[in-house]
Amino acid sequence: MAELYGSSPVKARRTQQEINSLKLGLVDIVEAEQPMTVRGVFYRSVAAGLIAKTDPSYKVISRLLLQLRRDGVIPYSWITDGTRWQIKPRSFNGMEDARIAMVRMFRRALWNDQDAYVEVFAEKDAIAGILSAVTSEWDVPLNVVRGFASETFLWSVAQDIIAIDKPTYLYHFGDHDPSGLLSAQDVERRLRGFAPDADIHFKRVAVTTAQITKWKLLTRPTKTSTHHRGFEGESVEIDAISATRLRQLVTDCIERHIDPDRLDRVRGVEAVERQSLEIALATWGKPA
DNA sequence: TTGAAGAAACCCGGTATGCG
DNA sequence: CGCATACCGGGTTTCTTCAA
């Protein structure tokens, strides 16, 4: 059996051939699921058995992805970095430009007419891209926690929940490992603390032990130095679940709270309003 | 040359240890 | 005993340094 890179106690260097086949594997992964984060590619590589889940291995992946992009093999647009951002006011190249943008971005708040309110939580950036494809479509907030949530962040989420004042359904996506479970529990506990009167229903959607057996997910040894009390068995990264299944999971979570008749009505109103907006703005900025 | 390791930036929880 | 601190665990990305 081939030794996984990085798992050997001997620091064996990769040959050029091994590096090349690793690169081919990376290209396959990125091509299939782009856009994704460097971290996301790393986890997918682990799930695919390409590399061990260790810090050095992560660095190898990140370096190879750098090369592949600089060499023009992988387009830059296929790799995303949600941790750096730009602050800039929205500005327009004239009124016509503004008019087009306004009509395009107009959306009716879908949940105003629904009896429930939904938010989704992701433990890490690596799956945020996958989940956001669905949450955006449904106008659902996606909260990316990054390990353990900050007090600041949870407080502001709680303020939204309090203000909306409806039965609130929170769905959490994270790893099946001691800290992952604790982090989810911690999000729930602190949110309830900040919004004690809110009607909150919190559910950890993934990774569950049922999913591990049902989908035969790739496991890794559990680190047992902290947080491990009461945790049995191997750990599983949420990245081991395919993007398709993850998308299906979120879709199910969200759609069960949607009343289709009311949705139809909102969509109808939205279409009419967008049209009105277009008409109203048609002469905007043009000489009478 | 390049792989491995360390550092930097930031947010956390839990536990062990030592001090007062 | 209670508190502060250190260190381990969880999350992300990139750059620099050192050794083979």
Q: Are A65 and A21 in contact (CB under 8 A)?
A: no
Asked whether residue A59, judged by its CB, lies under 7 Å from any atom of the DNA or RNA strand B, the reply is yes
Q: Are A77 and A71 in contact (CB under 8 A)?
A: no
**Total domains present in chain A:** 2
Co-location of A61 and A177 in the same domain:
no
On chain C, which bases lie within 7 A of the protein's CB atoms?
A: 8-15
Co-location of A177 and A59 in the same domain:
no
Co-location of A70 and A108 in the same domain:
no
Asked, for residue A68, whether it belongs to a domain, the answer is: yes
Co-location of A28 and A118 in the same domain:
no
Asked, for residue A146, whether it belongs to a domain, the answer is: yes
Per-position DSSP letters for A213-277, written without gaps between them = HHTTPPPBPPP-SSS-TT--S-BB-GGGS-HHHHHHHHHHHHHTT--HHHHHHHHHHHHHHHHHH
Per DSSP, the three-state class of A201 is strand
Co-location of A72 and A107 in the same domain:
no
Co-location of A56 and A105 in the same domain:
no
Co-location of A101 and A173 in the same domain:
yes
- pLDDT the model gives residue A200: 94
Asked whether residue A14, judged by its CB, lies under 7 Å from any atom of the DNA or RNA strand B, the reply is yes
Asked whether residue A6, judged by its CB, lies under 7 Å from any atom of the DNA or RNA strand B, the reply is yes
Whether residue A14 has pLDDT greater than 70: no
Asked, for residue A277, whether it belongs to a domain, the answer is: no
Co-location of A53 and A121 in the same domain:
no
Asked, for residue A257, whether it belongs to a domain, the answer is: yes
Q: Are A170 and A133 in contact (CB under 8 A)?
A: no
- Tell which wins on pLDDT, A54 or A264: A264
- Tell which wins on pLDDT, A207 or A227: A207
Residues 112-141 of A, Cβ under 7 A from nucleic strand B:
none
Closest CA to B3 C1' — which residue? A13
Give A190-195 contacts, CB < 8 A, sequence gap 24+: A190/A149, A190/A151, A190/A154, A191/A154, A191/A157, A191/A158, A191/A161, A194/A154, A194/A155, A194/A158, A194/A159, A195/A158, A195/A161, A195/A162
**Domain CATH code at residue A227:** 3.40.1360.10
- Tell which wins on pLDDT, A138 or A34: A138
- What tens digit of pLDDT does each residue of A68-112 get? 877 778 887 777 766 656 566 788 998 888 888 888 889 999 999
Asked, for residue A6, whether it belongs to a domain, the answer is: no
Strand order of the sheet with strand A117-122? A142-144, A117-122, A168-173, A200-206
Domain of residue A70 covers 16-78
Co-location of A60 and A194 in the same domain:
no
On chain B, which bases lie within 7 A of the protein's CB atoms?
A: 3-6, 10-15
**Mean of per-residue pLDDT scores for chain A:** 82
| Mean pLDDT on A11-31 | 73
Co-location of A100 and A240 in the same domain:
yes
Using the structure, give the distance in angstroms from the CA atom of A259 to the C1' atom of B10, rounded to a whole number: 40
- What is the token pair recorded at A199? 């009607």
- pLDDT the model gives residue A96: 86
Residue type, A100: I
d(CA A271, CA A143): 29
DSSP structural state of residue A197: T
Co-location of A233 and A123 in the same domain:
yes
Asked, for residue A286, whether it belongs to a domain, the answer is: no
Asked whether residue A151, judged by its CB, lies under 7 Å from any atom of the DNA or RNA strand B, the reply is yes
- CA-atom Rg of chain A in angstroms: 23
Whether residue A229 has pLDDT greater than 70: no
Asked, for residue A109, whether it belongs to a domain, the answer is: yes
Using the CA of A225, which nucleotide's C1' is the nearest one?
A: C8
Co-location of A104 and A220 in the same domain:
yes
- pLDDT the model gives residue A270: 93
- Whether residue A207 is preceded by a cis peptide bond, meaning omega within 30 degrees of 0, is yes
This prediction has a pTM of 0.82
Q: Is A8 exposed, middle or buried (0-12, 13-18, 19+ CB in 10 A)?
A: exposed
